[in-house]
Chains A and B, each alone.
Chain A
Amino acid sequence: MRESADDPLIARVAEELRRPVAVRPGFDERVMAAVRRPVDHLPVRAWTWLREPRTLAVSPLGGLAMAAGLAALLVVGTWRPGSETGPSGALGDAPAGAAQAASADAASLVTFVLLEPRAGAVTLAGDFNGWDAARTPLRRESSGIWTIDVPLRPGRYRYAFVVDGRRFVADPAAPRAVGDDFGQPTSVVTVGGAARAAGGLL
């Protein structure tokens, strides 16, 4: 732009613009420091924080508590309902893998029946109750028929009736177990998978 000497207004403006700006001391340094500072975004800060080595001060008790918490997480992570044989309930004692194999993990109500007119007591011992005869007593119906319903998940179970607390009796209505390891009569019941979600006694 070329200034005109005839125009006093323009001359005043030009003079004003030519006057050096007064800045506070250290202004240049502050500007340059701000320019040199790395970008201060959150992800960058977080990454920088993660990479920086640091020392944590934890008491021995706190360390043990954290270790226990980690172990508990591992247990929770690997536990599946019914995956471990529990001490109570036929369902808890059922093999659980079938839950993975079959879409239907539903329990089937299996009826066990034994005709023993002269028995004083009949119980059931098998893989589904930890072979604890005391846990699953049968009800006496009319005519010496003993019966009980047990919910079982899909799987194959070995079992036997225990008459009067001492005599093992195989189920006459079920297949016998092959190769009995302990020299006592043992039967087998297989509960089917998805196709037989209800009443799956096979």
Chain B
Amino acid sequence: MNVRLLMVAAALGALAPPAAARAQTERLAGRVEARTRAAVEALVDSARAAGLPGGPLVNKALEGASKGADGARIVAAVRTLSRNLARARSALGSASAEAELVAGAAALQAGVEASFLELLRAERRREPVVVSLAVMADLVANGVPPDTAAQAVLALARVGTREAELVAFRQSVERDVALGAPAGAAASLRLNEGARQAFVDQANTFAPANRTPRKP
């Protein structure tokens, strides 16, 4: 066997699906019927070829199987998620982590415009944006209009709001909505309150700590 033949054999070996990818789709065995499994595997392969993570797609298929959904519905859901993962990567950048793409896809599915994801990434270029994206989607799930939710999270990101504060903001809106407030108004109100508090905190930071009032 000469070198050329050896190279061909090596290339064929390299083209074989990696063991980890096989392990992904093998999770579908016994959970999803054969035709659905073949369709999902094809979608996973396409996603992986495009550099997208396959794990979330397999999870979506398993979720459908666990909930007793029929094959067509499972395939449709996997296809939608694959499309949203691609959109999320396009908006957030190719260096984005899998968890960010998953959270971004959820925000997109909730109705948030891709342009908001781009703006968020521009604001937090060096930090993970998983929580910010999750809060966007959670606010929409609570009834906040997608644009309002995205603008609120973006405004909080611009002032350097930390993850825990973002979550506290979401929880405040949830509480207000549970008490009967309109979701959009609750988000705007809490955002203004947060901005006011940030202004007060900033003022306190610059104020002399031990200033005593001068007696007349």
Contacts and interface: CB of A to CB of B under 8 A. Distances in A.
Interface of A: 55-60, 62-64, 66-68, 70-71, 74-75, 78-79, 83-87, 93, 95-102, 125, 127, 130-133, 153-156, 158, 168, 175-179, 181-184, 186, 188, 190, 192-196, 202
Contacts of A55: 2-3
Nearest to A133: B66
Interface string B130-172: 1101110110111000000000000000000011100100100
Given A66-B9, A101-B100, 16 more contacts: A60-B1, A83-B20, A85-B27, A95-B53, A98-B97, A130-B27, A130-B58, A131-B63, A168-B67, A175-B174, A177-B141, A178-B109, A182-B63, A186-B63, A190-B138, A195-B164
B136 to A, nearest CB: 10
Nearest to B142: A175
Contacts of A62: 1
B213 to A, nearest CB: 39
Contacts, number: 208
Interface residues of B, number: 71
Given A131-B65, A195-B164, A154 B137 contact: no
B21 interface: yes
Given A66-B9, A190-B130, A99 B62 contact: no
A179 B98 CA distance: 20
Contacts of A56: 1-3, 6
21 contacts: A64-B13, A67-B10, A84-B21, A87-B23, A95-B56, A95-B99, A96-B98, A97-B98, A102-B128, A102-B130, A175-B174, A178-B110, A181-B63, A188-B106, A188-B134, A188-B137, A190-B138, A193-B127, A193-B128, A195-B164, A196-B163
Highest count of chain B CB atoms <10 Å: which of A98, A168, A181? A181
A179 B109 CA distance: 7
Contact of A156 (B11, B23, B68, B134): B134
A165 B5 CA distance: 56
Contacts of B12: 67
Interface of B: 1-3, 5-6, 9-14, 16, 18-21, 23-24, 26-27, 31, 53-56, 58-60, 62-69, 73, 76-77, 80, 95-103, 106, 109-110, 127-131, 133-135, 137-138, 140-142, 162-164, 167, 170, 174
B22 to A, nearest CB: 10
Contacts of B100: 97-98, 101
Highest count of chain B CB atoms <10 Å: which of A59, A63, A85, A194? A85
B141 A98 contact: no
A101 B97 contact: yes
Nearest to A168: B67
B6 A63 contact: yes
Nearest to B109: A179
B142 A158 contact: no
Contacts of B95: 100
A187 to B, nearest CB: 10
A100 B18 CA distance: 21
A88 B122 CA distance: 37
B18 A130 contact: no
List the 4 closest A-B pairs by CB distance, nearest first. A97-B98, A97-B97, A67-B13, A101-B97
